[in-house]
Amino acid sequence: MSPKALDHDSINENVKRAQYAVRGELYLRASELQKEGKKIIFTNVGNPQALGQRPLTFPRQVIALCQAPFLLDDPNVGLIFPADAIARAKHYLSLTSGAGLGAYSDSRGIPGVRKEVAEFIQRRDGYPTDPELIYLTDGASKGILVPVPQYPLYSAAISLYGGSFVPYYLEETANWGLDINNLRQSVAQARSKGITARAMVIINPGNPTGQCLSEANLKEIIRFCHQENLVLLGDEVYQQNIYQDERPFLSSRKVLMDMGQPISKELQLISFHTVSKGYWGECGQRGGYFEMTNIPPETVDEIYKVASISLSPNIAGQIFVGLMVSPPRPGDISYEGFVRESKGILESLRRRAQLMTDGFNSCRNVVCNFTEGAMYSFPQIRLPPKAIEAAKRAGKVPDVFYCLKLLEATGISTVPGSGFGQKEGVFHMRTTILPAEEEMPEIMGSFKKFNDEFMEQYDDHRGYSRM
């Protein structure tokens, strides 16, 4: 009998080829260990509330009231909900024409929320934007030159759809900046293989690399995309997560608009944002949006059609987006509490970014750039030749070998750098900076103990010059 339709031999090769390291071998092994009762510190996914971050109170109050609109008629509701949360819940329910959270919205999202997003972008960038070009999504994971190291969602999705992934390498020694000559070479190399590059992804602030791109660098990238006829995909989901004052977040759209015509009217740009990251960390709510700039109306219609096949993003996630882009204002009952909670989270993340960078840099054969933004640390692990040989004998990629040993020894679940891509012969791992601040010294201590013992075991004390 021939193989059945869903036997492994029959399924699409693109599916088999797709790799997604964030939830790959390391994650599966960590889940097994957890089942066996071992304490696991999950630093593999940027999932703040799984690591103890408390949700912001005000948006949760608003959503709870939207979920249970009958509470709005309860005479006791004022005893447990503040008046501004009640008013805001009524506002969002009215934007759904009274249908509430239980009805599909338009596939592009609730028009009133899309309008709030447009107002937010205008406040942020100083340029008007059109709500018709803003689509709400279930998180930002739906959305192709791709930076390396990069977030492997991009490579996995490209592989799944049978596309070609054209890597460009970020410069570790230049704090993960983007070298435009390297970019040119990547596109030329792809072209020589018959691949037409169609899109370029930038992740700013960077995942896994944590850098904030400078205005000059963003301008170079925009000019490059314009010359090469590439659509620029701006993954800007970490725009609230900035841990230094020298280089604030600049949106690709603002930089593009600042450059003026003709380029500001020509470059095709799609920008992404989400409630999963930032100090909100509402990963499980699946709320996000993308904004289209200079995309022709017929293509916008096609994107609308494809979006409509999934009917609509979840409504609570849409309202979270609304709340993120229009948080409580000075004078509102909830304003001070909201600011206190938000600041508390951001300032603690800033301290953790520093603790982690310093911790890694104190370890033997480990060097690490400072996390300027986003929520990751991406230290380089200089693996000794003996460790690389041991990995080969075990049938593992060297950094996978290292990360698995780290997991078994300490319960720290990370993602090997090979899952993100790295220059040949250089090894990294990615951790989030999300473990609770009070646990950080213990975690970094436990890492240092493991790493230094590992290096002691495998290092024959020859020097390394490679960076």
Residue 399 CA: distances (Å) to CA of 42, 44, 140, 418, 427 = 17, 14, 28, 7, 6
Angle at 343 between CA 337 and CA 349, to 5 degrees: 140
**Are 251 and 217 contacting, i.e. CB atoms less than 8 angstroms apart?**
no
Residue 277 CA: distances (Å) to CA of 118, 146, 232, 269, 446 = 19, 21, 21, 21, 27
Bridge partner residues of 235 (DSSP)? 203, 272
Which C-beta is closer to a second copy: that of 40 or that of 383?
40
Binding mask 91-120 for a second copy (x = CB under 8 A): -----xx-xxxxxxxxx-------------
Tell whether residue 411 is a contact of a second copy (CB under 8 A).
Answer: no
Q: Which of 239, 252, 271, 285 binds a second copy (CB under 8 A)?
A: 285
Question: Which of positions 125-154 make contact with a second copy (CB under 8 A)?
Answer: 138-139, 141-142, 153
**Candidates 57-65, 391-399, 402-410, 440-448 — which segment interacts with a second copy by CB under 8 A?**
57-65
Q: Which of 248, 296, 441, 445 binds a second copy (CB under 8 A)?
A: 296
Q: Which of 25, 91, 157, 259 binds a second copy (CB under 8 A)?
A: 157
Tell whether residue 4 is a contact of a second copy (CB under 8 A).
Answer: yes
Which C-beta is closer to a second copy: that of 126 or that of 162?
162
Which C-beta is closer to a second copy: that of 282 or that of 291?
282
Among all chains, which residue has been given the structure tokens 């309860």? 74
Q: Which of 87, 174, 311, 339 binds a second copy (CB under 8 A)?
A: 311
Helices (H), 127-203: 153-160, 180-192
Question: Which of positions 315-344 make contact with a second copy (CB under 8 A)?
Answer: 315-317
Bridge partner residues of 231 (DSSP)? 199
Separation between Cα atoms, residue 43 and residue 415, nearest integer Å: 8
* Local structure of 235: helix, strand or coil: strand
CB of 145 to a second copy, least distance (A): 11
CB of 363 to a second copy, least distance (A): 29
Q: The tokens of 200 are what?
A: 């370029």
Binding mask 356-375 for a second copy (x = CB under 8 A): --------------------
**Are 153 and 144 contacting, i.e. CB atoms less than 8 angstroms apart?**
no
Which C-beta is closer to a second copy: that of 101 or that of 397?
101
Question: Which of positions 158-217 make contact with a second copy (CB under 8 A)?
Answer: 160, 198-199
Q: How many helices (H) and strands (E) does the chain have?
A: 16, 15
Tell whether residue 80 is a contact of a second copy (CB under 8 A).
Answer: yes
Question: Which of positions 13-52 make contact with a second copy (CB under 8 A)?
Answer: 15-16, 18, 20, 22-23, 31, 45, 47-50
What's phi and psi for 148, nearest 5 deg?
Answer: -125, 125
Which C-beta is closer to a second copy: that of 17 or that of 123?
17
Please enumerate in sequence order all residues whose Cβ is within 8 A of that of 71, keeping only pairs 6 or more positions apart, or say none.
Answer: 65, 77, 81
- # residues contacting a second copy (CB under 8 A): 89
Which C-beta is closer to a second copy: that of 83 or that of 99?
99
Q: Which of 268, 413, 418, 431 binds a second copy (CB under 8 A)?
A: 268
Among all chains, which residue has been given the structure tokens 């000559």? 181
Residue 91 CA: distances (Å) to CA of 18, 67, 68, 79 = 43, 13, 14, 20
Tell whether residue 283 is a contact of a second copy (CB under 8 A).
Answer: yes
**Candidates 172-180, 207-215, 277-285, 373-381 — which segment interacts with a second copy by CB under 8 A?**
277-285
Tell whether residue 245 is a contact of a second copy (CB under 8 A).
Answer: no
Tell whether residue 348 is a contact of a second copy (CB under 8 A).
Answer: no
CB of 367 to a second copy, least distance (A): 30
Q: 284-303 burial, b if ≥16 CB within 10 A, otherwise e?
A: ebbbbbbbbbbbeeeeeeeb
What is the Cβ-side half-sphere exposure of residue 142, based on CA atoms within 13 angstroms?
17
Which C-beta is closer to a second copy: that of 15 or that of 174?
15
Cis peptide leading into 205, omega within 30 of 0?
yes
Which C-beta is closer to a second copy: that of 262 or that of 331?
262
Which C-beta is closer to a second copy: that of 108 or that of 352?
108
**Are 446 and 410 contacting, i.e. CB atoms less than 8 angstroms apart?**
yes
CB of 423 to a second copy, least distance (A): 25
CB of 141 to a second copy, least distance (A): 5
**Candidates 76-84, 186-194, 253-261, 355-363 — which segment interacts with a second copy by CB under 8 A?**
76-84
Which C-beta is closer to a second copy: that of 18 or that of 426?
18
Q: With 0-12 CB in 10 A as exposed, 13-18 as middle and 19+ as buried, what is 160?
A: middle
